[in-house]
Structure 1
Amino acid sequence: MTAYTIKLQPALTMTDEQFYQLCITNPDLKFERNAQGDLLIMSPTGGETGNRNVELATEFVLWNRQHRLGVVFDSSTGFKLPGGGDRSPDVAWVEQSRWDALNSEQRQKFPPIAPDFVLELLSPSDRLSVVQTKMQEYMASGVRLGWLINPSSRQVEVYQPEQVAELLNNPIHLSGEPVLPGFVLDMNLIW
């Protein structure tokens, strides 16, 4: 997915409500904002990436149905991160009590919460350094576990708060412990 960045500041500052209205007024476009307030326009993914995304999301949905510990979100969901960005991870999960603490308006719009878990799947058109920066933004906003999966190199970067990202080469599976109790992702779905 190619992202185009438009630097709005200092010429223009967009409020959260204005950003939300921009997104719902242009439903055919996918927007994000980074912590600096830059507007990012995301292109659609290709077939292989789209298939991998849905397979990944399905694994999380099935696990969550069994354990009933939280709420799973797909790549269409925008989160208003405490660090200032508005981001849409490919897969996200929020622990149930944290989700329940939001009011109905907060749940309806872009939830003002950092997910407990995020997953980003690198597509052929993504720049690794840009997605790594996005992962750091998630961690700075309070995400407890993040996975950056790079299918072409068969590598996974595991992000945790206040730790250097761990690089895994060709892992067979990924464990979500302790954030996602009992969750294990079979990497054969991706490779």
Structure 2
Amino acid sequence: MAATQTSITAEQFAEMLSATDGAQYELIRGELVKMTPASPRHGEVCIALGALLHVFVKSRGLGRVAVNDPGVITERDPDTVRGPDVAFWSPERLSELPNKFTHVPPDLAVEVVSPRDTHREVLEKVLHFLDHGVRLVWVVDPEERIATVYRSRHEVRILGETEELRGEDVVPGFSCRVGELFE
């Protein structure tokens, strides 16, 4: 990811996105960062997990699920807008999904690792989410066929294909076998 030299606000970023070339961007401390296009496999894993979560959450009235990098403003002056691959908000945090960026961090953020992602980039994003109010972060790695669960900077678990990925107290009752995401 390469950053430009221009410092912009979240509002300028939102307006700029409507006029882009279709590329994905994030705003990191006022700097526009172009994201590497995701692979089809990445998209397949995102939709698999997003669909499982959506059906589970909707059928139980537990909140809202969004995919495809929903923008969350996590910092101001300079502004940062990050987007997880999949996000869940409880109704206590966010009753309706807005048509613009939200200031409300999701309860659960999911990152699906792409072939071009570095470990450092993924970890920086995970820690950023945790530091800005996300209660649970899952990192799903299709290449290694594992999921890493972060409750905090110090509470981390790695799950293999046969283990259950659980929503714990964040998405109560949700679980799926890690390997199911790669089928």
Letter in 2 for 1:16: A
Question: Could you tell me whether the CA contact under 8 Å between 2:75 and 2:81 is conserved in 1?
Answer: no
Question: Could you tell me whether the CA contact under 8 Å between 2:105 and 2:132 is conserved in 1?
Answer: yes
RMSD, matched Cα: 2.0
Question: Could you tell me whether the CA contact under 8 Å between 1:143 and 1:161 is conserved in 2?
Answer: no
Question: Could you tell me whether the CA contact under 8 Å between 2:127 and 2:153 is conserved in 1?
Answer: no
In structure 2, the partner of 1:31 is 25
Match of 2:123 among 125, 128, 132: 132
Task: Measure the CA separation in 2 of the matches of 1:73 and 1:99.
Answer: 12
After TM superposition, what 4+ stretches of structure 1 lie above 6 angstroms from structure 2?
none
Letter in 1 for 2:100: K
Letter in 2 for 1:90: D
Letter in 2 for 1:180: V
Match of 1:165 among 142, 156, 160: 156
Question: Could you tell me whether the CA contact under 8 Å between 1:155 and 1:171 is conserved in 2?
Answer: no
Match of 1:64 among 57, 72, 89: 57
Q: Choose between structure 1 and 2: higher helix proportion.
A: 1
Task: Measure the CA separation in 2 of the matches of 1:27 and 1:179.
Answer: 36
Deviations 1:32-67 (A, max 9, x none): 122x33322113222222111111110011111211
What residue ranges of structure 1 are gaps of 5+ in the alignment? none
The aligned runs of 1:92-111 (5 Å cut-off) are 92-100=87-95, 107-111=98-102
What residue ranges of structure 2 are gaps of 5+ in the alignment? none
Question: Could you tell me whether the CA contact under 8 Å between 1:5 and 1:38 is conserved in 2?
Answer: no
Query: What is the TM-score when the length of structure 2 is the normalising length?
Result: 0.88
Q: Does residue 88 of structure 1 match 2:83?
A: yes
Identity of aligned residues (%): 27
Q: Does residue 182 of structure 1 match 2:173?
A: yes
Q: Helix, strand or coil: the match of 1:99?
A: coil
Query: What is the TM-score when the length of structure 1 is the normalising length?
Result: 0.85
